[in-house]
Amino acid sequence: MSATLGVLIQMALRNLVVHRVKTGVVGLIMFFGTFLVVSGTAMLDSIRGSMEKSITSSLSGDIQVYSSEAEDALALFGSMGMSTPDIGEIDEFKPLRETLLEVEGVKAVVPMGIAMATVFGGTEIDRVLSDLRVATRDADAEGTAMRVEQLVQIAERMRKDVAMAAKASSEPEKTQDQLASLDRVLAPGFGADLAADPSGTLDWLDNKVAPIAADGRMLYLRNIGTNLDTFPQTFDRFRLVDGELVPPGQRGILLSKAFYEKQAKNFVARELDKIKKSLDQGKTIAEDAVVSELVARTATQYQRIQFQLSPKDAVIVTERLRTKLGRTDGDLAALLQEFLKMDDANFADRYAWFYQEIAPRVRLYEIPVGEEVTLRSFTKSGYIRAVNVKVYGTFEFSGLETSDLAGANNLVDMMTFRSLYGKMTDDQLDELADIKASSGVKQVSRDNAEDALFGGGGSLEAETTTAGAGFDEFAGLTLGAAATAGALDTTQYTTAQMEDGLALTAAVVLDEGGDVPAAIERIEAAAKAKGLAVQAVGWETASGIVGQIVMVLQVVLYTAIFIIFLVALVIINNTMVMATMERTTEIGTMRAIGAQRPFVIVLFLVETMVLGAIAGGLGAGAGALFITWLNHVGVPAVADALVLLFAGPRLYPVFTSGNLAFGMGSILAISALSTLYPSVLAARVLPVVAMQAKE
Amino acid sequence: MSGIVRLMDVVKDYPLGKVTVHALRKVNLTIDKGEFTVIAGPSGSGKTTLLNLIGCIDVATAGEVLVDGKSTGKLTDKQLTSLRLNSIGFIFQSFNLINVLDIRQNVEFPLLLQGGLSKAERQARVDDVVDKVGLRQFASQRPNELSGGQRQRVAIARALVTRPAIVLADEPTANLDSTTGTQIIDLMKEINHQDHTTFIFSTHDEKVMKRADRVVRILDGMLEAAGLSESRGPSESGGEQVHA
Ligand SMILES: Nc1ncnc2c1ncn2[C@@H]1O[C@H](COP(=O)(O)OP(=O)(O)OP(=O)(O)O)[C@@H](O)[C@H]1O
Ligand SMILES: [Mg+2]
């Protein structure tokens, strides 16, 4: 038997040498196929490993437990869809926490909730108007004149924008109205109007002019409510960047550093940061079109600095800019424009100067650390809630600093989460019952119940906004009195008060090296025994968009592997069919002198599989070498999203014997599969053809 | 019932499009063990067809073919193959060696298919037959390095290595010059004498026919009447064959 196999392999090898071209073509495909499988699966496994590190240690824990009544899948890092997914609710966190902590292998349980909120960042015009109010009230003629001048400049810019937008507007009347309002500001008599009736004119400006610019000045925050006392210990990638941690028992928000830098920062500063990043990557303003356009655009935004400077600071900056640029005259606008006209030679200097001289004098961040901020959210019933919280600091997850995905979430305490989420507490429900009883109103629906409770002064018959209303409506409402935030809540809460009550999920951290699927089973069994309607999912599923990215990568990889193997299958099949036809005499002779059909089948199978083993072995080896090389140099996370996948700025992939075995196994399987038909064809060759052979 | 090969009323038809070619028409033939038989006839007369049936690489349309006591019409492909492997040796007109194997491996090949022998036993057998055909010094060369006559010797060695009851050769000299052809026939004859192996081969070469113990003549798929078509006698007296 072994002697026969020996001869078969020898025949296979020699046939491979004889049919060099066929061997070369088929071998090359096999080589690439195996190379792709080994290096691809090694990369994917490495990414999955690094992703596990970054996700489990930053936000999700190993397992997420949430309501089994959820309509949608949990997506901690956000989902592909636009709407907020319905992941159900956990009405009482306490029993769930107690149950989970009893499960074998569970190290920690942290409550979580997801709530979206907006922060009204305010526009330049808002700031100018509020400064103008102060100036007119104080009868500060100089300040008033300066603010009016700024207002006119803003109105000019806005008029251009509106006129441009008017061409495509579906509401010509509205744009006409807006243009008329702006024209009044731009008219020569406006200063006199203001002087004649300061408060009336200012109200008119607030109601008519400010809203024109209101669009797009909203900052959207994705907040994860959690136990802020235990979070930093449980998730060891957490690192405070600015400010301080929220003191134990206090309400507050910690902003993601990435969000803070990319969304909340002054536009000009943000653009300068972007340019610096590009230049740090080795690009130049002179040669890179994207960067040079960025520089050009930044220069046009000088007003975003100009209008933020107080009159006193404006004078100082004007003076210093003159010195800096070597000018004897020129107003602030002109100087700023010139300053922002940057090239490769002066960028570093201007950048440093900006942060040294200008940044401290403007509102560098829309939401400054240490200040109070009003978070607004749509509750589930479409009502707007407003909550005031203090911004204690900013944080990042170490290794994931540049990842937008990792930085998409801000952290709030559970109380604030519950307010934003809009679920009524028992107390509030009682209060609602009282209102109902005392007011004698016919019916308080669940929809307008919140209105009754939170709608500062609004009557019970107040209209309720419908869920999913557009943001225009939202913007309009924020200007009115519909949602007032109330005073900052500085009550000292206990851990129980913070944790117990509504949560959306429980993040479960397992003991070191815990088996996730097994723990999920144990958790679901324990929850079932206690009658808790929850489900448990692993970090990969729970992470949402990120898990989907890995899935997409997986699909792409397996599709590529599938295609290359399909091509291999077809080509090997075809060449082997041709080989069969060329070799009918040889096959017929073997059959005539006593070879059974299975022998012929094995002969052909062995031939392709020997080639598969050699070419596949080389491919697998090359794949392993390639991964080793990548491990040496590191794969840079070129896109921000990759930082999260790579758990840092570079991925150092490794391969396992499993990757090699999978590569070899699949190429051998493909070899066998592709030779099946040709070898059966060969086995059908009749022994008589041996007799018909001609030299 | 004697005879290592017996054909009784054997008919072989080949369908060829709409017509049927009657390659063999009611052939009756008995060949005894140890005979050195020539099937002679012009081109298209049915020699190869006859050898195919005897060699179990094809089956008759009608009639019965008995090889080594087995009726081939009743056997499965597997059984036929095994009968070929164990009872029959083949020598082809075009030698039909496996080009990627060397001479020794070509000769050893049927033994590997048979299995059962140890490496040493196989080695001994191969050496024995390779010696017999006088190719010892070429044993590790590849077929395409040899001349036609040498290749046919390899084929003979391969046919003999399993010690078959019957060796079949379809025009074994057709691709050889006449001197070499004669040498090949002489070699076969010598082996026939020494080992009493039954040889059946076809030819239309008169010179080859003269070396046979027995000449079976075939024409249009029919054997010429016994006594007329067949002649028996020592090859030495081949020239005195009665012919019609
Ligand atoms: N596979 C086949 N299909 C159709 N007809 C065939 C087939 N094989 C042989 N024949 C026909 O059967 C007849 C006998 O052919 P066979 O090959 O047995 O003759 P032969 O005596 O060996 O001739 P040659 O000396 O040319 O080899 C011929 O008429 C031939 O055309
Ligand atoms: Mg013939």
Torsion of CA A122, A124, A130, A133, to 10 degrees: -160
Shortest alpha-carbon distance between residue A8 and chain B (Å): 10
Q: According to the model, what pLDDT value does residue A69 have? A: 84
Q: According to the model, what pLDDT value does residue A425 have? A: 55
Residue B45 Cα: closest atom of ligand 1: 21
Q: How far is it, in rounded angstroms, from Cα A597 to Cα A577?
A: 16
CB A545 within 8 A of CB A80: yes
Residue B22 Cα: closest atom of ligand 1: 12
Q: How far is it, in rounded angstroms, from Cα A445 to Cα A462?
A: 12
Condensed to tens digits (0 to 9), the pLDDT of residues A25-37 reads 889 999 999 999 9
State yes or no: pLDDT of A2 exceeds 80.
no
Instruction: Tell me which of A81 and A169 has the higher pLDDT.
Output: A169
Q: According to the model, what pLDDT value does residue A157 have? A: 79
CB A634 within 8 A of CB A651: yes
For ligand 1, atom 16, the nearest C-alpha belongs to: B46
Contacts of B81 in chain A (CB under 8 A): 591, 594-597, 687
Q: How far is it, in rounded angstroms, from Cα A539 to Cα A18?
A: 54
Q: How far is it, in rounded angstroms, from Cα B55 to Cα B72?
A: 10
Q: Which of A11, A20, A597, A691 to mutate to test the interface with B (most CBs of B within 10 A)?
A: A691
Q: According to the model, what pLDDT value does residue B240 have? A: 37
Angle at A435 between CA A430 and CA A436, to 5 degrees: 95
Q: How far is it, in rounded angstroms, from Cα B141 to Cα B119?
A: 20
For A321, the token pair is 């800019």
State yes or no: pLDDT of A694 exceeds 50.
yes
CB B29 within 8 A of CB B5: yes
| Chains A & B: contacts with CB separation below 8 Å | 100
Q: According to the model, what pLDDT value does residue A475 have? A: 37
Q: Over chain A, what is the mean pLDDT?
A: 82
Can you point out the beta strands (E) in A260-331?
Answer: none
Q: Which residues contact A27 (CB under 8 A, 6 or more apart)?
A: A611, A614, A615
Shortest alpha-carbon distance between residue A687 and chain B (Å): 6
Q: How far is it, in rounded angstroms, from Cα A150 to Cα A551?
A: 52
CA of B93 to the centre of ligand 2 (A): 9
Instruction: Tell me which of A579 and B225 has the higher pLDDT.
Output: A579
Q: According to the model, what pLDDT value does residue A472 have? A: 36
Q: Do A592 and B84 touch (CB under 8 A)?
A: yes
Q: How far is it, in rounded angstroms, from Cα B214 to Cα A103?
A: 95
Q: According to the model, what pLDDT value does residue A264 have? A: 84
Q: Residue A503 carries which DSSP code?
A: B
List chain B domain ranges: 5-243
Counting residues of chain A whose pLDDT is more than 70, the rounded percentage is: 87
Counting residues of chain B whose pLDDT is more than 70, the rounded percentage is: 91
Ligand nearest to the CA of B46: 1
What is the amino acid identity at position A471? F
For ligand 1, atom 30, the nearest C-alpha belongs to: B44
Q: How far is it, in rounded angstroms, from Cα A295 to Cα A287?
A: 12
Q: Is A471 exposed, middle or buried (0-12, 13-18, 19+ CB in 10 A)?
A: middle
CB A383 within 8 A of CB A450: yes
Q: According to the model, what pLDDT value does residue B244 have? A: 35
CA of B17 to the centre of ligand 1 (A): 15
Q: How confident is the model at residue A203 (pLDDT cuts 50, 70, 90)?
A: confident
Please tell me the least confidently modeled range out of A116-120, A196-200, A519-523. A116-120
Please tell me the least confidently modeled range out of A224-228, A394-398, A490-494, B62-66. A490-494
Q: According to the model, what pLDDT value does residue A216 have? A: 44
Shortest alpha-carbon distance between residue A13 and chain B (Å): 9
State which residue of chain A sits closest to B171, comparing Cα positions.
A691
Shortest alpha-carbon distance between residue A654 and chain B (Å): 42
Q: Do A596 and B109 touch (CB under 8 A)?
A: no
State yes or no: pLDDT of A469 exceeds 70.
no
State yes or no: pLDDT of A622 exceeds 50.
yes
Q: According to the model, what pLDDT value does residue B29 have? A: 93
Q: Do B92 and A693 touch (CB under 8 A)?
A: yes
Task: State the average pLDDT over residues A497-503.
Answer: 86
Q: How far is it, in rounded angstroms, from Cα A550 to Cα A46?
A: 11
CB A352 within 8 A of CB A360: no
Phi, psi of A308 (to 5 degrees): -95, -10
Counting residues of chain B whose pLDDT is more than 90, the rounded percentage is: 52
Task: State the average pLDDT over residues A646-664.
Answer: 91
State yes or no: pLDDT of A332 exceeds 50.
yes
Chain B positions touching chain A (beta carbons under 8 Å): 48, 51-52, 55, 57-58, 77-78, 81-82, 84-86, 89-90, 92-96, 98-101, 105, 108-110, 112-115, 119, 122, 158-159, 162, 170, 175
Q: According to the model, what pLDDT value does residue A656 have? A: 94
Shortest alpha-carbon distance between residue B134 and chain A (Å): 22
Q: How far is it, in rounded angstroms, from Cα A261 to Cα A394?
A: 10
Q: How confident is the model at residue B238 (pLDDT cuts 50, 70, 90)?
A: very low
Most confident of A208-212, A422-426, B228-232: A208-212
Q: Residue A412 carries which DSSP code?
A: E
Condensed to tens digits (0 to 9), the pLDDT of residues A581-596 reads 888 999 999 999 999 9
Q: DSSP string covering chain B, please?
A: ---SEEEEEEEEEEEETTEEEEEEEEEEEEE-TT-EEEEE--TTSSHHHHHHHHTTSS--SEEEEEETTEEGGG--HHHHHHHHHHHEEEE-TT----TTS-HHHHHHHHHHHH--S-HHHHHHHHHHHHHHTT-GGGTTS-GGGS-HHHHHHHHHHHHHTT--SEEEEESTTTTS-HHHHHHHHHHHHHHHHHH--EEEEEE--HHHHTT-SEEEEEETTEEPPTTTT-EE--GGGGGG----
Q: Which residues contact A575 (CB under 8 A, 6 or more apart)?
A: A22, A25, A26
State yes or no: pLDDT of A468 exceeds 60.
no
Q: How many CB atoms lie within 10 A of CB B215?
A: 23
Condensed to tens digits (0 to 9), the pLDDT of residues B138-174 reads 999 999 999 888 999 999 999 989 989 999 999 888 8
Beta bridge partners of A578: none
Phi-psi region of A338 (alpha: psi -120 to 50; beta: other; left: phi over 0): alpha
Ligand nearest to the CA of B27: 1
Condensed to tens digits (0 to 9), the pLDDT of residues A523-574 reads 999 999 988 889 999 888 887 777 777 788 889 989 998 998 898 899 889 9
Q: According to the model, what pLDDT value does residue A466 have? A: 36
For ligand 1, atom 28, the nearest C-alpha belongs to: B44
Q: Do A688 and B114 touch (CB under 8 A)?
A: no
Please tell me the least confidently modeled range out of A47-51, A672-676, B74-78. A47-51
State yes or no: pLDDT of B226 exceeds 70.
no
Q: How far is it, in rounded angstroms, from Cα B9 to Cα A137?
A: 132
Ligand 1 neighbours, Cβ below 6 Å, are B 14, 16, 21, 23, 41, 43-49
From B188, B89, B123, B172, select the one nearest A695 (Cα to Cα).
Answer: B172
State yes or no: pLDDT of A292 exceeds 70.
yes
CA distances from A65 to A93, A314, A325 (A): 11, 54, 60
CA of A692 to the centre of ligand 1 (A): 9
CA distances from A462 to A85, A263, A441, A482 (A): 28, 34, 12, 10
Q: DSSP string covering A449-473, please?
A: HHHHHHSTT--TT---PPTT--HHH
CB B26 within 8 A of CB B205: no
CA distances from A424 to A95, A380, A461, A499 (A): 19, 11, 19, 16
Q: According to the model, what pLDDT value does residue B23 have? A: 92
State yes or no: pLDDT of B180 exceeds 90.
no
Architecture of domain B5-243: 3-Layer(aba) Sandwich (3.40)
CA of B106 to the centre of ligand 2 (A): 24
Where is A630: in which H helix or E strand? helix A597-633
Q: Which of B24, B43, B49 to mutate to test the pocket of ligand 1 (most atoms within 8 A of CB)?
A: B49
Which domains, ranges and CATH numbers included, belong to chain A?
2-55+548-694 (no CATH), 61-112+503-539 (3.30.70), 124-212 (no CATH)
Most confident of A316-330, A651-665, B197-211: A651-665
Contacts of B98 in chain A (CB under 8 A): 11, 586, 589-590
Q: Which of B52, B89, B100 is opposite residue A688, by nearest beta carbon?
A: B52
Q: Locate all alpha helices (DSSP H) within A187-262, ordered by sequence.
A: 190-196, 198-204, 231-234, 257-262
SS (H, E, C) A543-606: CCHHHHHHHHHHHHHHHHHHHHHHHHHHHHHHHHHHHHHHCHHHHHHHHHCCCCHHHHHHHHHH
For ligand 1, atom 6, the nearest C-alpha belongs to: B14
Handedness of CA A452, A457, A461, A463 (dihedral sign): negative
State which residue of chain A sits closest to B114, comparing Cα positions.
A594
State yes or no: pLDDT of A675 exceeds 60.
yes
Q: Do A594 and B52 touch (CB under 8 A)?
A: no
Ligand nearest to the CA of B47: 1
Contacts of A687 in chain B (CB under 8 A): 57-58, 81, 84
State which residue of chain B sits closest to A591, comparing Cα positions.
B81
Ligand nearest to the CA of B41: 1
Q: According to the model, what pLDDT value does residue B243 have? A: 39
Ligand nearest to the CA of B170: 2
State yes or no: pLDDT of A648 exceeds 50.
yes
Provide the pairing of β-strand B62-67 with B70-71. antiparallel
Q: Do B115 and A7 touch (CB under 8 A)?
A: no
Q: Residue A424 carries which DSSP code?
A: P
Q: According to the model, what pLDDT value does residue A473 have? A: 35
Q: According to the model, what pLDDT value does residue A214 have? A: 53
For ligand 1, atom 26, the nearest C-alpha belongs to: B43
**Strands across the sheet containing B70-71:** B19-31, B5-16, B62-67, B70-71
State yes or no: pLDDT of A477 exceeds 70.
no
Q: How many CB atoms lie within 10 A of CB B17?
A: 6
Phi-psi region of B34 (alpha: psi -120 to 50; beta: other; left: phi over 0): left
Condensed to tens digits (0 to 9), the pLDDT of residues B92-110 reads 988 899 988 999 999 999 9
Q: How far is it, in rounded angstroms, from Cα A441 to Cα A449?
A: 12
CA distances from A83 to A116, A223, A623, B150 (A): 11, 15, 42, 85
CB A367 within 8 A of CB A254: no
State which residue of chain B sits closest to A13, comparing Cα positions.
B100
Instruction: Tell me which of A56 and A656 has the higher pLDDT.
Output: A656
Please tell me the least confidently modeled range out of A355-369, A394-408, B99-113. A394-408
State yes or no: pLDDT of A456 exceeds 50.
no
Q: According to the model, what pLDDT value does residue A122 have? A: 63
Q: Over chain B, what is the mean pLDDT?
A: 87
Q: According to the model, what pLDDT value does residue A240 have? A: 93
Condensed to tens digits (0 to 9), the pLDDT of residues A217-260 reads 678 888 899 999 989 988 888 999 999 999 998 999 999 998 88
State yes or no: pLDDT of A289 exceeds 80.
yes
Q: How many CB atoms lie within 10 A of CB B225?
A: 10
Instruction: Specify the residue for token string 């003269």.
Output: B210
Q: How far is it, in rounded angstroms, from Cα B230 to Cα B215?
A: 5
For ligand 1, atom 13, the nearest C-alpha belongs to: B23
Q: Which of A594, A688, A695 is opposite residue B113, by nearest beta carbon?
A: A594
SS3 content of chain A, % helix, strand, coil (to 5): 60, 10, 30
Contacts of B85 in chain A (CB under 8 A): 593-595
Q: How many CB atoms lie within 10 A of CB A78?
A: 18
pTM here is 0.68
Q: According to the model, what pLDDT value does residue B154 have? A: 94
Cα B239 versus chain centre, distance: 23
Q: Which of A18, A594, A688 is opposite residue B85, by nearest beta carbon?
A: A594
State yes or no: pLDDT of A24 exceeds 50.
yes
CA of B44 to the centre of ligand 2 (A): 7
Handedness of CA A76, A82, A88, A92 (dihedral sign): positive
Q: Which of B14, B58, B175, B208 to mutate to test the pocket of ligand 1 (most atoms within 8 A of CB)?
A: B14
State which residue of chain A sits closest to B92, comparing Cα positions.
A691
Condensed to tens digits (0 to 9), the pLDDT of residues A411-453 reads 999 989 988 887 655 555 566 566 656 655 444 444 444 444 4
